[in-house]
Amino acid sequence: MIIKSFEINKIDPFKNNLILFYGQNEGLKDENILNLSSKFHSIIKYHEREVLENQDNFFESIFSGSLFDEDKFVIINQASDKIVKIIEILIEKKEKIKEIAILLNANSLEKKSKLRSIFEKNLLCVPFYIDNNETLFKFTETFLKQKKINISPLNINFLVNKCNGDRRNLKNELHKIEMFCLNKKNIKDEELQKLVCLSENKNISELIDCCLVKDEKNTINILNDNIFNNDDSILITRTFLNKLKKIHKLILSYEKNKNLNETIRNAKPPIFWKDKPIVEKQIRTWKPDLIEKLIIDINEIELQIKRNNTNSINLISDFILNTAA
């Protein structure tokens, strides 16, 4: 059975005690794993590799009487199709693990995944999709309101944009702001800028901005001045994809109202004032169908990178240069 992430609070982990979480929204997964964990007296964590390499020990710990002294929550991280046979054994002997809930925490799983199929058809499966800027903006607003901290919508947008779609990263920065504001309820722009140190590389953001205004010269300069490597590839593709989705939405709005100032003014989340000139130029540069093609292309590149990381930086660099040309 598939359920939405916002429905997880309805789960009774003692009745539905084999659960699969999968997807790239690690921050939201962390929140929900923590909430489920709070219902148990004992938490046991495994990496999938540990389970596969020590199957006898794993089954003994699950089925032995000693584990039934109190309820247990078992988390298996980095789960994949490699663990399917073990899950099938657990399903067969499900009656023996009534006091234990087992949660598999996986990254991306394709539709053809055997693990995903088993949980979708017979057990409990929860996909966690990447947050968009609007959901992260609302999440930030709610957090700040609860903590009674005053930050302008523009600065909230600054935080959201810089977190690059990563809820976990955003939460870390919000907690940092919370600690900074223990004895005061307002934070100045310059204080926020100094305090925040998010994962998005400033040079990556500048690289993509130059690319999307067809500034080929500066795009080449940034690529040459920075020693990007294969490990940077996913961060670059994610930053690029988030930017494309944002620009696509703005272009559609501009085509309706034919008023660029109104489009920028009504953007949600709000556009940080320093970014307005470059965003205006990007809106004028592109049409919706071309942005849609770029979104398809960048998604395909990310899939290729995940399958084989070798020379991935060359792959994304070529794409950026071709787009900027």
Output the domain CATH number for residue 60: 3.40.50.300
158 and 69 co-located in one domain: no
Least confident of 17-26, 161-170, 240-249: 161-170
Same domain, 117 and 139: no
pLDDT higher at 66 or 317: 317
22 and 103 fall within a common domain: yes
Tokens (6 digits) for 32: 């929900």
| Rounded Cα gap, residues 84 and 171, in angstroms | 33
Q: Which residues does 279 contact at the CB level (< 8 Å), separation at least 6?
A: 247, 250, 264, 271
For residue 191, pLDDT over 80 is answered with: no
Does residue 292 sit in the same domain as residue 312?
yes
Specify whether 93 is located in the same domain as 149.
no
- Domain span at residue 270? 202-324
- Same domain, yes or no, for 264 and 223? yes
Q: Rounded distance, CA 221 to CA 242, Å?
A: 23
Mean pLDDT: which of 66-75, 94-103, 184-193, 291-300 is highest?
291-300
pLDDT at site 66? 53
- Please tell me the pTM assigned to this model: 0.54
- pLDDT for residue 198: 46
Q: Which of 151, 178, 195 finishes a domain?
A: 195
Which of 93, 109, 128 finishes a domain? 128
Q: Tell me how far the alpha carbon of residue 147 is from its chain's centroid.
A: 24
How many structural domains are present in the chain? 3
List Cα–Cα distances, 73 to 7, 76, 115, 190, 209, in angstroms: 19, 10, 20, 44, 45
For residue 199, what pLDDT is reported? 42
Tell me: the pLDDT tens digits for 39-71?
888 888 898 988 998 899 899 888 775 544 568
Question: What span, in angstroms and rounded, lies between the C-alpha atoms of 80 and 210?
Answer: 38
Q: What is the dihedral of CA 46, 49, 55, 61, to 10 degrees?
A: -10
Q: Say whether both 9 and 94 belong to one domain.
A: yes
Distance CA 160, CA 131 (A): 10
Q: Which of 128, 151, 173 is the last residue of a domain?
A: 128
Cα–Cα dist 62/247, whole Å: 50
